[in-house]
Amino acid sequence: MRLLAIALASLIVLLQWPLWVGKGSWLKVWQIESQLADQVKQNQQLKSRNQALDAEVNDLKTGVSAIEERARNELGMIRNDEVFFQILDRSEPLAEPSASRSPAASAERPALAPPAAASQTPLAGAEKISGPSAVTAPQP
């Protein structure tokens, strides 16, 4: 009787072995499900990124405002009727004026007028950048 119990127990273990440890075991299924969940999450992120890029491409193809925004941010361009103010960080040294400016370029735009009285300053701590219509103001 004892021998029969041992034989049946070993038979059950042999039948269960592929279920827990074999090629198609539960452990492998759990690992694959985890990989699948990670891949689905990555695909969702990539889809949202692709949609944003597609919208940006369409905006650049059809809209002028996106091109203007890029020109302002990436190339530093301004319109003719605008005044450019650059706020410098106090820890960075002030750039020296460039000697390569042509007189024709400076004649196109009017220069800043000096303060009315010698005792007045435009802004406390503000410095003039070389070039027309450009003044820096300290950061608050």
Please check whether residues 116 and 64 belong to one and the same domain: no
21: CB partners within 8 A, 6+ apart: 27
Please state, in angstroms and rounded to a whole number, the distance separating the CA atoms of residues 73 and 82: 15
Pairing relation of β-strands 127-128 and 134-136?
antiparallel
**pLDDT means over runs of 10, the chain (140 residues):** 91 84 82 96 97 90 83 85 83 62 48 44 44 45
pTM, entire model = 0.40
In terms of domains, do 94 and 139 share one?
Answer: yes
Contact of 56 with 50, CB cutoff 8 Å: no
d(CA 41, CA 47): 10
Residues 35 and 51 in one domain: yes
DSSP state of 115: P
**Confidence at residue 47, expressed as pLDDT on a 0 to 100 scale:** 98
Q: Which of 59, 77, 95 is the last residue of a domain?
A: 77
Query: What residues make up the domain containing 45?
Result: 24-77
Of 47, 62, 77, which one is at a domain's C-terminal end? 77
Q: How confident is the model at residue 98, as a pLDDT?
A: 57
pLDDT the model gives residue 13: 87
Number of domains forming the structure of the chain: 2
pLDDT at 21: 78
